[in-house]
Amino acid sequence: MVARNRLAAKRSLGLGHMMRAVRYLAYGRDGAQLLELALVLPLLAVVIVGVLDFGEAYNLKQKLNNAAREGARFAASQNGGSNLSTSDVTAVRDAVNNYLTNARVTQCAIATSPSVAGTVYTFDSSSGGCGAFSLVIDRNHLIAGGGGVTVSTTHVTLSYPFIWSLGNVIKLLLPGSTLSLPATLSTDAIMQNLN
């Protein structure tokens, strides 16, 4: 009989501990913090990746702006009227390429020969996966000024591919997401022809 009472006491003691543990987890604050972290962590990941992505895109855009401006400045100072010689076009390409290389923007290499349509020279990329890349030099870009005056300028347009990480993170959270961000960053610069 005594053995039975001891066994019953152990069972009730074990059951009591288990009930206290269940009550603690159900009504305690430790479980709530874990649940809050599980709910907030995916949103925090989207915000962090978004900030990093947009910062990287902004940085690349500034480097492209400077490279296009450098190319336009160099092209506007060349002799030849509305047409540039082959060596002048190559020199403009080299100026843009050197700026991009020094800025560590080396994903896409600029092709060595352009396609020509009148006074517009278009360079594509010689690198694989850079189909969105283009460098366009328009030596005879005319702008109407005040008083009916037309100014001859050089217009340099630069397009560069950019891969966003944000879309992949959002697709992990929302598998049916169709977030589309621009795959190309474009910029241009215009300078008045000096010669």
Give me Rg for the CA atoms of the chain: 32
pLDDT in tens, the chain (195 residues): 555 555 555 555 556 666 676 666 666 666 777 778 888 888 898 899 989 999 999 999 999 999 999 999 999 888 766 677 888 889 999 999 999 999 999 888 899 889 988 889 999 988 877 888 999 999 887 777 777 788 888 899 999 999 888 888 888 888 888 777 788 999 999 998 887
- pTM score of the predicted model: 0.75
Sequence-distant (≥ 6) Cβ neighbours of residue 53 within 8 angstroms:
164, 165, 166
How many structural domains are present in the chain? 1
Contact 93, 110 (CB under 8 A): yes
Residue 126 lies in a domain: yes
Residue range(s) defining the domain that contains residue 121: 48-192
Residue 115 lies in a domain: yes
As a whole number of angstroms, the distance between CA 96 and CA 27 comes to: 65
Gap between the terminal Cα atoms of the chain: 115
